[in-house]
Each structure stands twice: as structure tokens, then as C-alpha cells.
Amino acid sequence: MDRLLVLCRHGQSDWNLKNLFTGWKDPDLTEKGVGEAKAAGQRLKAKGVGFDIAFTSDLTRAQHTCRLVLAELGQPGLETIRDLALNERDYGELSGLNKDDARAKWGEEQVLIWRRSYDVPPPGGESLKDTAARVLPYYIHRILPQVMAGKRTLVAAHGNSLRALIMAMEGLTPDQILARELDTGVPLVYRLNADTTIASLDVLKG
């Protein structure tokens, strides 16, 4: 049985380009981001990877990425489940702010703590720990059963919602996951053992 799970961060968004905190705000992909998503689909196709089901967040940039990947694979009508449990971390009062402006308002050290600590949320927002608290139950109850039943599964989501998943799957510490960078539009191809542990990981960089 092929217990295949592919995680893919969305392609570059308009606010990534403008260096803005995005969170639950809903900008679409840039032209570069569209290209990244298409390239992700092409790299998966070259590896012979196709899907039986897909999951994505409630945000446009992840949904658009998912559609583009599936189109490249010739699977445009694949069953795709959308859920806000997979949304990006909510940056609260930082959302929509230029990262330099946020540093000017709160100080570089404070902004760094909000961005790079595991359990300190920005004002009105979520920490990575908070994000994990909504992502992991969804993974355990909705996504993992599909994978373990042999359905080849795509999850197109966000840097921090995917970090939360990877932390649990790979057994990483908070410090380790905070140091883990996820490139936009790069598929992570996991194959799982019968006990849900990781058998292999293939990072499909261009």
C-alpha cells in the first residue's frame, strides 16, 4: 500500500512580495507564485505522483496553488476539501503591516519574539503552538485516515500550518521547527509506515 502524503506551501503571494504580515488576510498569488505552483505540479508529474484526494485551507492563495498543481497533473476535478483548520497562523494586529513598520512600532526584538517563539502570540493573534492546536486534530481525524487507507493525499497550505504538521510528523522540538524553512511551491513527498511514522521524505526542489 502506498501511504503517500504530499505537503506543499502555496506559491508566492502578493503580500509575500510586499513583505507584509499576511496571516488570515486573503491576497492571491503573484505571477511568480503561479509559476511556482505550476512547477510544483510538473515536478510531481515527473516523479509519477498523482492523487486521490486533496486538502487545502480557506484562503485563496492555498486554494489557487492546489488547483494549479492538480491541473498540471491532469486532475482538475479531484475531490478537494477546504477547511480553515489548515489556515495560516493568524498574525492578529500584525496582519497587513509591513514587517519594517511593525519593527518601528513595537521594536525589532519584540517582533522577532512574536515571529520566532513557539508559544508567544502577537496581539490578537496566534502563536505557532496555537496554530498546532487547531491543525493537528484536523490532521489526525481527517487527513491521516485517508493516507492510511492508501489514498494518495495532497495538502496545499501555509508555512506555519505546515510547520505544525511537520513538527508532529517528524517529532521535532519547538526550536527545531522554528528553524525549519519551507520554500514556496516546493512539494514535500512523505511515505508513511503502517504505524504512521515516516518511511521516506523526498523534497522536490527545482
At 53 the three-state DSSP class reads: strand
- Buried-exposed string 36-61: b where 16+ CB fall within 10 A, e elsewhere: bbbbbbebbeeeebebbbbbbbebeb
| Separation CA 173–CA 12 (nearest Å) | 27
| Separation CA 69–CA 44 (nearest Å) | 8
Nearest Cα neighbor of 55 from 40, 66, 71, 45 is 66
Contact 22, 94 (CB under 8 A): no
Told to judge if 10 belongs to the known catalytic residues of this protein, a careful annotator would answer yes
Q: Which of 36, 72, 88, 126 is catalytic?
A: 88
| Separation CA 24–CA 153 (nearest Å) | 24
Q: Which of 10, 64, 72, 126 is catalytic?
A: 10
Q: What contacts 42, CB < 8 A, 6 or more positions away?
A: 72
Told to judge if 88 belongs to the known catalytic residues of this protein, a careful annotator would answer yes
Please give the positions annotated as active site: 10, 88
